[in-house]
Amino acid sequence: MNATPGPQETAGDAEPVPPQYRSGRAIAHTAGAAGPGHPHRSNGRSSHTPRGARSAGRNGDSGTIPPVPGSPSSRLLPLVFVLLCALTAWQVAAHGPLRTLDERLGRAVAGSAFPRPLAGFLADLGNATVAVPVLAVAVLVWFLRFGRSTARPWLPPLAAALAMAAVPALVVPLKTWIARPGPPPMAAVHEGFFPSGHAATAAVAYGAAVLLLFRGSRWAVAMYALLNAAVGAGLVRCGYHWPLDVVGAWCLSGVVLWALALSCRTRARPCPSP
């Protein structure tokens, strides 16, 4: 007896079945999943590259150059600067052997073949009439570039102004206390050449501009160091200061710039939630 074939169901006759939950690759595409195929599955794991261990800088750059303000190594910087300044001041005031070598080096530089007009131009870069306007322009550019994206836009300009005000507050009392005579061309003018006010003004003004605009840039720091070395060489070549006068001014400026770097660690405004 032949069996009668039963009715066959087609795809259109099948009863609708609600979608079933499946585990596998489909879950890897859900939000927040960390399985295979997820484009951000590596976000929950620690990075194996040194680049991932670095935090972004103030404005999304690669971060500040070492030593970062607040790190253990940077906390020793002001102490080192203060000790160096105290050493140079002690040698100058006590007529120590370092002062003898300093004056011998100063006379050699003043009598060198370095062009005097160029040296005078470099020395003039330490004048307040030149350095302070440069810092004012840097503050204006900082407002235009980063003012709207910074939580406290008034803090860096205020800190830069206080840093410039700290230069005469630190330099003038030391000049009066030590009362060091100047090189032969300036010895008959007055006493009080240690530390150099021109070198300190240039170091703080241009250093504050670098901190405001180029905080994470190594080439800007290198250009800043080269500029200050040129200003110091011009001051010694023109006979305005001894070399230790410039070194003492740089040590004081290092303390001021360290404090300025700490105060300029402002955070960007959080992005508004959609």
* Higher per-residue confidence, 95 vs 50: 95
Q: Are 141 and 213 in contact (CB under 8 A)?
A: yes
Residue 143 forms part of a structural domain? yes
Does 270 map to a domain? no
- The parent domain of residue 202 ranges over 72-263
- Are 168 and 265 a contacting pair, CB within 8 Å? no
Total domains in the fold of the chain: 1
pLDDT in tens, 104-113: 999 999 988 8
35 domain-assigned = no
Say whether pLDDT at 80 is over 90. Answer: yes
User: Which pLDDT score, from 0 to 100, does residue 176 have?
Assistant: 93
The answer as to whether 192 is a domain residue is yes
Q: Is residue 155 part of a domain?
A: yes
Chain centre distance of CA 128 = 22
Average pLDDT, the chain: 79
Q: What is the pLDDT of residues 140-173, one digit of tens each?
A: 999 888 878 777 888 888 999 999 999 999 999 9
Percent of the chain residues past pLDDT 90, beyond the cut: 54
Q: Does the residue 272 lie in any domain?
A: no
Residues 6+ apart with CB under 8 A from 173: none
